[in-house]
Structure 1
Amino acid sequence: MAGLVYFEDFAVSKKQEMPNTGYAIIRCDDGVIVARLTSFPVCERALMYRRGDTVSFMPLQPDEIVGTLSLFSQMIEKARSGVGYQVPPGSVTLPS
């Protein structure tokens, strides 16, 4: 079947040609290449930002946490209730 690219158990219409070198980030939903990279970050974890054709990576340190505002709100609520996370005595706390 010409014009199809196979991903696991399903085939999607080929939207773009795969690059001969470098890396391609493919959106699994429709098989479209959303970013092309000449190199990939050499680190354990990184955040990827994409705006149009521009892609950048920000390496993350081992102790850095990535989450949404609701995640942090849930963590604070658990800390306050004493059920989950405990705030050590003498820690700096911010008023809500």
Structure 2
Amino acid sequence: MAYLLYFEDFAVGKKQETPNTGYAIIRCDDGVIVARLTSFPVCERALMYRRGDTVSFMPLQPDEIVGTLSLFSQMIEKAKSGVGYQVPPGSVTIPS
């Protein structure tokens, strides 16, 4: 389930007063509120995406991994090198 929320325009570039209720996501670099939320996802971990004036939260399952393409490329290279991520003896392998 994704939560869709209104996104405040952060292009103003000035500090804003925090709301008395709800939640605010503040950009630490300059203290600007980039999103104001009336509720927050009830989950341990969630990804936040922004597209235009919409913010969405996607809850993550405990077994889900978040990373960039370069992270996954590095993991594959490390696996190929034989230095890390080795298959233990006796493990079932499927030929490619």
Question: Does the residue aligned with 2:12 lie in a helix, a strand or coil?
Answer: strand
Unaligned stretches of 5+ residues in structure 2: none
Alpha-carbon distance, 1:19 to partner: 1.1
Equivalent residues of 2:41, 2:57 under 8 A apart: yes
Cα distance in 2 for partners of 1:25, 1:52 equals: 16
8 Å contact kept, 2:23–2:36: yes
- Name the structure, 1 or 2, with higher relative contact order (CA <8 Å, separation 6+): 2
Does structure 1 conserve the Cα–Cα contact (< 8 Å) formed by 2:79 and 2:85?
A: yes
Specify the alignment match of 1:29 in structure 2.
29
Instruction: Provide the rounded CA distance (Å) in 2 between the counterparts of 1:15 and 1:55.
Output: 20
- SS of 1:4's partner is strand
Which residue does the alignment assign to 1:83?
A: 83
1:51 is displaced (CA, Å) by 2.6
Give the % identical residues.
94
Compute the RMSD of aligned alpha carbons: 9.1
Worse-matched range after superposition: 9-18 or 56-65: 9-18
TM-score if structure 1 supplies the norm length?
0.72
**Greater mean alpha carbon deviation, residues 73-82 or residues 84-93:** 84-93
Counterpart contact for 2:46–2:59, Cα < 8 Å: yes
- The DSSP-based 3-state class of the residue aligned with 1:29 is coil
CA distance in 2, matches of 1:54, 1:92: 46
Structure 1 spans left out of the alignment, 5+ residues = none
> How many positions carry a matched residue from both structures?
96
How many angstroms apart in 2 are the aligned matches of 1:62 and 1:23?
Answer: 24
- How far does the alpha carbon of each residue in 1:5-57 deviate from its partner, in whole angstroms, 9 at most, with x for none? 99999999962221121000000000000001111111110000123432110
- Using the size of structure 2 for normalisation, the TM-score is 0.72
- Tell me the equivalent position of 2:8: 8
